[in-house]
Structure 1
């Protein structure tokens, strides 16, 4: 806490802008997307520098997009541009020549910067030199790299136990850095490795490992081009993975049917104007969803069971033509018990629970009944539900009935978020490493890695709050703005002895910090990385298991930026010194040496250095993709799972809230203030409500309100929002994160995966009361008191 006793804000300022609502769009991309992509390059003042980089992004021999993890085509790639609008925005922020230097921090206190919005904080440009905030300091001040690593080493070596440190990872980190990062943590002595998977797709891995034996998707990009039905559930491709729409378009033109399941009609599910095709520019594009099912929030389980009930009825009428009985007999277990449960289900009741009419449910089942090549895609609309693990197991149940896993054009596709978030986990970024993985590290390196499981994100926050974790090192990301229960998390961060952030740009986690804090600036994906005079490349894994090279081309904006790999190695050398058995200097200077050691430690990476230099990279082994299901309990048998139907009860004055991001946003990075496809412009503090709910509560569209949550018998307040009438199921609402993360209890988690259940938050909505600010200020004072 600074000496002036001012508390840096953990949240965006409670102020409104000038909301403009233009209505929901029915298609995505097209010319507006192209214009938006290039406008950011001009806004950053780098039209030439940025355009040069754009035409190398996602190209063979180029660099991997720093945005989403959607795969690149294995064969020829578009010469016009193998990127989307959001990828171009991410590139513009990397390519900018605006710099945040020591002079900037000298002029701007931490407190003053924290009073800006996340959008404003992110517009200052690239971090240009390492910075240090001393205890009780008000301003960050410059520090040399050597002194920064010395400071980290002093804090780490002063801990009573290695488990008093936690090492967080964002999805941007390369395979090479991720491997060394977890290796350092283990040699230091802890498995405390919370990472961004703990907040997005941990649920997917947990469910798929238990049922299919592989914690990843089972399809390739080509499967989308030749399939019968694509089901997209709990995902908004137009904003979250725009390049996915090109695959959907190709599949649709080849005869695939598409079922879209989502509480609101997202434009990217409805239609697509491909800006690289003539009819996408001057024509009508292509309609994507053949059937749209506006499911209630957390009504997905009832919907899935209803479809299965109907499929069972189809099977009874046409034995052996709907279910793949041969596949079920040879490749599954638990079929009879699974089928027996449907004696207790009623279609009308399931329809009511899901919010979908029996007629539409019947149509969905009919589209699936006599088809075998079915792909299910999902996003955080499922993974961030409290019963998300069970819902994904139910999707697997449905596909097992159809024999739609392990064959071309069929399988599961969790649509991963940040680029290389999947690669991080493959590189052993995991708070719960397996005994086999640890044994292999011991065999290769000769030290005994810790066997005790570490903290995931939620448990790490609680441990910081209890002062069991005293040093937090963040390899990328914006920890505070990404995590739930903002006030609680901010209290936890303020109790740390030291917080360290490896970053490319300023964010709120730099401003809500430990007693001491470091900001370590690093190279971005698009930056030229030169080590000992030689340009280097790194590698990443996309969401379909392809490992590929990535080589930046842009001259860095500062000569004080070093790559993440060297940051890890220099931290390791400073901290461990002569007690280390690992040649960190070798890995700091030689990325090939890192890949060689990965090849010895992780199955599937044999001959890594040769194969990653292939133009399209290489696929990692995926047994389930080949129809082999090897789980902890069964060999070559995928289990049917019995799941429960949730009771989603709301009090008369309660609503269910799901947090989402805008089209002008990627994770916690805010590119602009236009949620173009939802027709919401120049405002982020909005709550989307059904018009009937607005009328019943006596509200009006455009009215100012305050939002409340009462989980754990604690009043959480998000003040000053504006109501927007929106086509969403009754008693359901949507808001943007991070503005409403404050309402997500740290204890509101997904069973099994322990992820924050940010898509299932019970709230109350009341007319705005200006005096509410006093309650919020009191919460901040309490946080200050606890941290002090």
Structure 2
């Protein structure tokens, strides 16, 4: 549903404000939401209510009157839409026809209502009974090699469902448990784990109340986590210096009008957010962070020479770290001209940031996929850890790491066993509890799964939510390969592009949404999830289900499990479905250190903390200390500069959450009516002889023979570093090879993709 009128006038307003209010009103009218939606919004992200189905930002114990953001409210309106995708809908449309629809239009068709099976003879989905679907899926799974079956989990599924999903996969014999983390924050899991021994953030939401400075890298709160704007606004108002490193000027990091502040809404005033804003080149963060480290180390050297108070926390470094001397020597030896070239920033700007770091006692480092989605993303994280260790900014109030996660429970899924890495799952404990032999070999992560689907060695794909075929790289290779799988099963609430790539046997299984009442044999059920701060919350839906024919996610997992696995007296799948307390008891038995008294604590206002050792300065690393690491490269892109080669950053719009497109108005970037654009620096445009709204093809420029091309993108002049361009995700995924991934973590390197531009024919 793109708009016939395309507009690219720059947006001059603040984040939030009346623009957010208007956007919410528009989606409510479009979805024809009733009074029930307004009622549910009052319960969103509040103790005893339901946890947002969008991002994983923290839920305070003492919430705002409206504890939801623009995108969170859109997600609620989207899920509680009045539209339905019924068997009659599928009778009217072939799959070939639906492939011609845009992503927005597919999901706008409404909530799925019946289990469906693909009929190749008619190229249509046809309704089947739940019993028939489970029996046929189970019969197929029994014929496959478990090591060639993928059990993917989207980051929205609850802790209860995720635990059941992982247990089912391992009892079946598969360790192929990729999830959304593999696409975004796996670099965090690997990089932080190796450097400080904990794979997640170390701060609490309350640390923002006492920090002195925030260093902010590669994350856009205005689009990806708008509720974060409230603590950022509070920090800015009390004088916290917020130093931002991001290639694009993002409005949420510039200024914010609080929609819940009557004075700001009435006067149009806003709060400035960033005190410094440095537009680092895509892939230039290693050099920028190293430059800050160099400044601080050399300033401390000077203090030592003149017997002035130290800048570095030498006591912390001596007691808690290893590798400092080698890293400090490397930082001193790296010349400023190299740092300036690789970062795209001036020495003066980097030193200005360094001066803030040097004088601040409690610093929080915030980052997102702008750091993780690069070939050398691990070096990004390690260099960031080095910076924080220099002044002991880990494991004390108001200081630490604050990675901002996307999906609402993507971190929690890992906590309860969704992982392809055997060392991260309590396999011996599972064997003891359930009397089976779990697989011990490493399974497939998301990129591995894509490679096996492309080469034909994967036999089946089961997806617990998500739109994976649309989200992953190498779209042109993935889409035909997906249809060669022998079995594809998707558990979903709405239709998306992955469902239009049916395997030879294919099922589409509709589930209840988190906001809806989940009535089981034991009464109305609740679920739990974990946020970016490692806190666990209960969530209870009360909205009327979209259809009486829907099953809950746990019921669907149990249905597949009982049809596939041999009976096991230690696992009563049906009893678990009837009472989710029993699933939580099983989680507690499996992870007693994190989930002690799980059922008793799940409704704790503000959630209960599962614990992060590094937050207590307990370093579970090989050395037993926090480790300084020397970066292997100063350019995170993994490719060389070349004439005509640009660094593409894939982006989300203000009207989008991951692959879900809510509309065609990227308000903060001033782009309305289309997503087929490329953001360019005006000097780069002039050098290529391009004018605004000219059409270009974006072509992959990796050193390989496969051609990847996105045709006829409209050129939009934008404040972006030279040599860098921006384009929307997932439309630009076709340009990313599955081989273009982060070293060690295998995250697709979507924030620095080599491309060139050609005038459209």
Q: Does residue 605 in structure 1 map to residue 595 in structure 2?
A: yes
Matching residue of 2:281:
296
Matching residue of 2:498:
509
Contact 2:517 2:524 in 1 (8 A): yes
| CA positional deviation for 1:349 | 2.3
Q: Does residue 269 in structure 1 map to residue 219 in structure 2?
A: no
Cα distance change on mapping 1:436 and 1:714 into 2, 3 Å: closer
Q: Does residue 662 in structure 1 map to residue 653 in structure 2?
A: yes
Question: Whole-Å Cα distance in 1 between the matches of residues 507 and 264 of structure 2?
Answer: 48
Matching residue of 2:133:
148
Matching residue of 1:525:
514
Q: Does residue 404 in structure 1 map to residue 393 in structure 2?
A: yes
CA offsets 1:489-527 (integer angstroms, 9 cap, x no match):
113211101111100000000001211211100011111
Contact 1:480 1:508 in 2 (8 A): yes
Match of 1:681 among 672, 694, 699: 672
Matched position secondary structure for 2:394? coil
Matching residue of 1:180:
164
Contact 2:485 2:503 in 1 (8 A): yes
Matched position secondary structure for 1:231? strand
Question: Whole-Å Cα distance in 2 between the matches of residues 282 and 324 of structure 1?
Answer: 47
Matched position secondary structure for 2:495? coil
Match of 2:299 among 305, 314, 317: 314
Question: Whole-Å Cα distance in 2 between the matches of residues 36 and 393 of structure 1?
Answer: 39
Cα distance change on mapping 1:598 and 1:579 into 2, 3 Å: closer
Matched position secondary structure for 2:633? coil
Contact 1:175 1:423 in 2 (8 A): yes
CA offsets 1:535-563 (integer angstroms, 9 cap, x no match):
11000001101101000010102001111
Q: Does residue 629 in structure 1 map to residue 619 in structure 2?
A: yes
Matching residue of 1:211:
195
Q: Larger deviation: 544-553 or 310-319?
A: 310-319
Matching residue of 2:705:
713
When the two structures are superposed, what TM-score results if normalisation uses the length of structure 1? 0.94
Contact 2:3 2:672 in 1 (8 A): no
Contact 1:372 1:403 in 2 (8 A): no
**Runs of 5+ in structure 2 lacking a partner?**
none
CA offsets 1:24-69 (integer angstroms, 9 cap, x no match):
4462011211221232122111141211111111111100000000
Contact 2:483 2:501 in 1 (8 A): yes
Contact 2:24 2:73 in 1 (8 A): yes
Match of 2:236 among 247, 252, 256: 252
| CA positional deviation for 1:623 | 1.0
Q: Does residue 394 in structure 1 map to residue 380 in structure 2?
A: no
Question: Whole-Å Cα distance in 1 between the matches of residues 640 and 482 of structure 2?
Answer: 34
Matched position secondary structure for 1:578? coil
Question: Whole-Å Cα distance in 1 between the matches of residues 568 and 434 of structure 2?
Answer: 13
Question: Whole-Å Cα distance in 2 between the matches of residues 226 and 686 of structure 1?
Answer: 41
When the two structures are superposed, what TM-score results if normalisation uses the length of structure 2? 0.97
Contact 1:321 1:370 in 2 (8 A): no
Cα distance change on mapping 1:485 and 1:18 into 2, 3 Å: farther
Matched position secondary structure for 2:364? strand
Question: Whole-Å Cα distance in 2 between the matches of residues 110 and 195 of structure 1?
Answer: 26
Question: Whole-Å Cα distance in 2 between the matches of residues 339 and 768 of structure 1?
Answer: 49
Name the Cα RMSD after superposition.
1.5
| CA positional deviation for 1:578 | 2.8
| CA positional deviation for 1:317 | 2.3
Matching residue of 2:574:
585
Question: Whole-Å Cα distance in 1 between the matches of residues 701 and 290 of structure 2?
Answer: 31
**Runs of 5+ in structure 1 lacking a partner?**
1-12, 770-788
Question: Whole-Å Cα distance in 1 between the matches of residues 683 and 5 of structure 2?
Answer: 25
Matching residue of 1:61:
48
Matching residue of 1:426:
415
Q: Does residue 698 in structure 1 map to residue 683 in structure 2?
A: no
| CA positional deviation for 1:204 | 0.6
Map 1:344-359; keep pairs closer than 5 Å.
344-359=333-348
| CA positional deviation for 1:617 | 2.7
| CA positional deviation for 1:616 | 3.1
Matching residue of 2:32:
45
Matching residue of 1:99:
84
| CA positional deviation for 1:579 | 5.8
Cα distance change on mapping 1:507 and 1:715 into 2, 3 Å: same
Q: Larger deviation: 644-653 or 480-489?
A: 644-653
Matched position secondary structure for 2:365? strand
Matching residue of 2:368:
379
Cα distance change on mapping 1:17 and 1:764 into 2, 3 Å: farther
Question: Whole-Å Cα distance in 1 between the matches of residues 610 and 295 of structure 2?
Answer: 37
Contact 1:61 1:551 in 2 (8 A): yes
Cα distance change on mapping 1:234 and 1:435 into 2, 3 Å: closer
Matched position secondary structure for 1:614? coil
Contact 1:16 1:685 in 2 (8 A): no
Matching residue of 1:114:
99
Question: Whole-Å Cα distance in 2 between the matches of residues 349 and 440 of structure 1?
Answer: 51
Question: Whole-Å Cα distance in 1 between the matches of residues 724 and 607 of structure 2?
Answer: 44
Q: Larger deviation: 400-409 or 48-57?
A: 48-57
CA offsets 1:73-105 (integer angstroms, 9 cap, x no match):
13x1112x1000000110011111211100000
Question: Whole-Å Cα distance in 2 between the matches of residues 543 and 187 of structure 1?
Answer: 29
Matched position secondary structure for 2:756? strand
Contact 1:124 1:506 in 2 (8 A): yes
Matched position secondary structure for 1:289? coil
Question: Whole-Å Cα distance in 1 between the matches of residues 343 and 13 of structure 2?
Answer: 23
Cα distance change on mapping 1:710 and 1:173 into 2, 3 Å: same
Question: Whole-Å Cα distance in 2 between the matches of residues 698 and 357 of structure 1?
Answer: 28
Question: Whole-Å Cα distance in 1 between the matches of residues 383 and 672 of structure 2?
Answer: 37
Matched position secondary structure for 2:600? helix
Q: Does residue 498 in structure 1 map to residue 482 in structure 2?
A: no
Map 1:194-233; keep pairs closer than 5 Å.
194-233=178-217
Question: Whole-Å Cα distance in 1 between the matches of residues 393 and 495 of structure 2?
Answer: 45
Match of 2:641 among 645, 650, 659: 650
Matching residue of 2:19:
32
Match of 2:68 among 48, 73, 83: 83
| CA positional deviation for 1:581 | 4.7
Matched position secondary structure for 2:401? strand
Contact 2:215 2:364 in 1 (8 A): yes
Question: Whole-Å Cα distance in 2 between the matches of residues 437 and 134 of structure 1?
Answer: 41
Q: Larger deviation: 533-542 or 416-425?
A: 533-542
Q: Stretches of 4+ moved more than 4 A in 1?
A: none
CA offsets 1:130-154 (integer angstroms, 9 cap, x no match):
1000345411000100111111101
Q: Does residue 596 in structure 1 map to residue 585 in structure 2?
A: yes
Matched position secondary structure for 1:360? helix
CA offsets 1:159-199 (integer angstroms, 9 cap, x no match):
1x211211000011000000010000000001001111100
CA offsets 1:267-302 (integer angstroms, 9 cap, x no match):
011011111113331342210000000000101111
Q: Does residue 640 in structure 1 map to residue 628 in structure 2?
A: yes
Question: Whole-Å Cα distance in 1 between the matches of residues 193 and 159 of structure 2?
Answer: 21
Contact 2:386 2:628 in 1 (8 A): yes
Question: Whole-Å Cα distance in 2 between the matches of residues 486 and 137 of structure 1?
Answer: 25
Q: Larger deviation: 439-448 or 129-138?
A: 129-138
Map 1:706-745; keep pairs closer than 5 Å.
706-711=697-702, 712-745=704-737
Matched position secondary structure for 1:740? helix
Cα distance change on mapping 1:614 and 1:51 into 2, 3 Å: same
Question: Whole-Å Cα distance in 1 between the matches of residues 453 and 214 of structure 2?
Answer: 43
CA offsets 1:716-762 (integer angstroms, 9 cap, x no match):
11111100000101110000011110000110000110011011111
| CA positional deviation for 1:389 | 0.9
Contact 1:373 1:408 in 2 (8 A): yes
